[in-house]
Amino acid sequence: MSGRARRAAKSTIRYRARVYAQPPDIGPRPPLDGSAGAAGGGGDRAVLRVAGLRKVYSELIAVEGVSFDVHRREVVGLLGPNGAGKTTTLNMILGVLSPTAGSVHIGGIDLAHQRARALAQANFSAVYASLPGNLTVAQNLRFFGLVYGIPALGLRVGELLRQFDLDRLRNTKCGLLSSGEQTRVALAKAVLNRPRLLLLDEPTASLDPAAAQTIRARIRSLAVDTGCGILWTSHNMYEVEEVCDRVLFLSRGRILLEGDPRRLPREHGAATLEELFIRLAREPLGESDGAPRMGVA
Ligand code: ATP
């Protein structure tokens, strides 16, 4: 596939992530302790369990043997250089891409077997997935609330407008909002269905430092207050250190390192997380110098 075709396919996938990865019906919620029946592994704190995930595009192995959990109230950073496989991983968790192998459980529910129920536990926000600009803030929240089948929607929208300081902007079209305001609306939309798992793809990418700081604080408090688990991608190591409880370093489709972002640099002889990131990103993977190809494990 040519570079242009691949970019087009990627943006289609991202668009589809925005439109279709949303739960059509919030359905019955499994108990909050994560014990979601047989598939839930009783008493399990994991809101996301990814096991042996693999994605092959034609000859390119984009994701290889990726396994990790995200627990309740935990913010996990998915880090890696451009092309590492982060978006591919997120899209498999959102059910937009089918894995070549491996499994995804959300709130204890197997995505492959109970797709609607599993996705009803999740939601998503990304800098590239902007909300319809010709709808006002309140209309956008109502629209997505109807799509998700949120009960007592008027009350929920009012609650979120207050929670995200959007009351005075409720009748403003989203296309006219600043980046920081749009990010607040996108986050309000992403928590409409009270997800157990929140996937955030570079949520602060286009924000000034002050707006980014406010958004980070909001996201952290979401994890603490609602008990959801958050999987967050970012290229900003300062923010990762501030926000994430744990990070996963992905490089050429594989997890190279996992741990506490405040301790990892020292444990690996680096001065900062950024220095460690750069070193890992440049590390060759065995005999394969580029992305792993079929047959080069
Ligand atoms: P970035 O930080 O640049 O967004 P990423 O970590 O999200 O990168 P992915 O978008 O998951 O990386 O891409 C992983 C690899 O898979 C890259 O080599 C990319 O070129 C390739 N790839 C992604 N989508 C497709 C596709 N639809 N067809 C073929 N190859 C693809």
Statement: residue 35 has pLDDT above 60: no
Structure tokens at 135: 């709808």
Q: Which atom of ligand 1 is nearest to the CA of 9?
A: 27
We report the CATH number of the domain holding residue 250 as 3.40.50.300
On average, the pLDDT of the chain sits at 83
* Residue 129 banded pLDDT, cuts 50, 70, 90: confident
Helices (H), 191-272: 209-226, 237-243, 264-267
pLDDT of residue 5: 43
Give 55-87 pLDDT, tens digit per residue.
999 889 999 999 999 999 999 999 999 999 999
Q: Which atom of ligand 1 is nearest to the CA of 91?
A: 11
Residue type, 244: C
Q: Is residue 168 part of a domain?
A: no
Q: Which atom of ligand 1 is nearest to the CA of 85?
A: 11
Q: Is residue 45 part of a domain?
A: yes
Query: Is ligand 1 within 6 A of the CB of residue 293?
Result: no
Q: Which of 34-48, 225-239, 271-285 has the lowest mean pLDDT?
A: 34-48
Q: Is residue 162 part of a domain?
A: no
- Separation CA 149–CA 98 (nearest Å): 25
Structure tokens at 82: 């451009």
Q: Is residue 79 part of a domain?
A: yes
pLDDT of residue 204: 86
The DSSP annotation for 28-50 comes to PPPPTTS--HHHH-TT--EEEEE
Mean pLDDT confidence for 136-146: 97
pLDDT of residue 127: 75
* Residue 284 banded pLDDT, cuts 50, 70, 90: low
Q: Which residue's CA is the nearest one to ligand 1's atom 29? A: 57
Distance 254 CA to ligand 1 centre (A): 13
Domain extent at residue 83: 3-129+196-282
Q: Is residue 180 part of a domain?
A: no
Check: CB of residue 241 under 8 Å from CB of residue 77: no
At residue 245, the 3 state secondary structure works out as coil
Sign of CA dihedral 271, 272, 274, 276: positive
CA torsion 255-247-281-87 (nearest 10°) is 70
Give 176-219 pLDDT, tens digit per residue.
999 889 989 999 999 999 999 999 988 888 788 888 888 899 88
Query: Is ligand 1 within 6 A of the CB of residue 57?
Result: yes
- Separation CA 242–CA 214 (nearest Å): 12
Sheet of strand 101-106: strand arrangement: 60-71, 46-57, 101-106, 109-110
Tell me the best of 57, 63, 249, 254 to mutate to test the pocket of ligand 1, counting ligand atoms within 8 Å of each CB and taking the most.
57
Number of structural domains found in the chain: 1
* Residue 282 banded pLDDT, cuts 50, 70, 90: confident
pLDDT of residue 285: 58
Statement: residue 223 has pLDDT above 50: yes
Q: Is residue 260 part of a domain?
A: yes
Q: Is residue 184 part of a domain?
A: no
Tell me the best of 2, 4, 7, 10 to mutate to test the pocket of ligand 1, counting ligand atoms within 8 Å of each CB and taking the most.
10
Q: Which atom of ligand 1 is nearest to the CA of 81?
A: 2
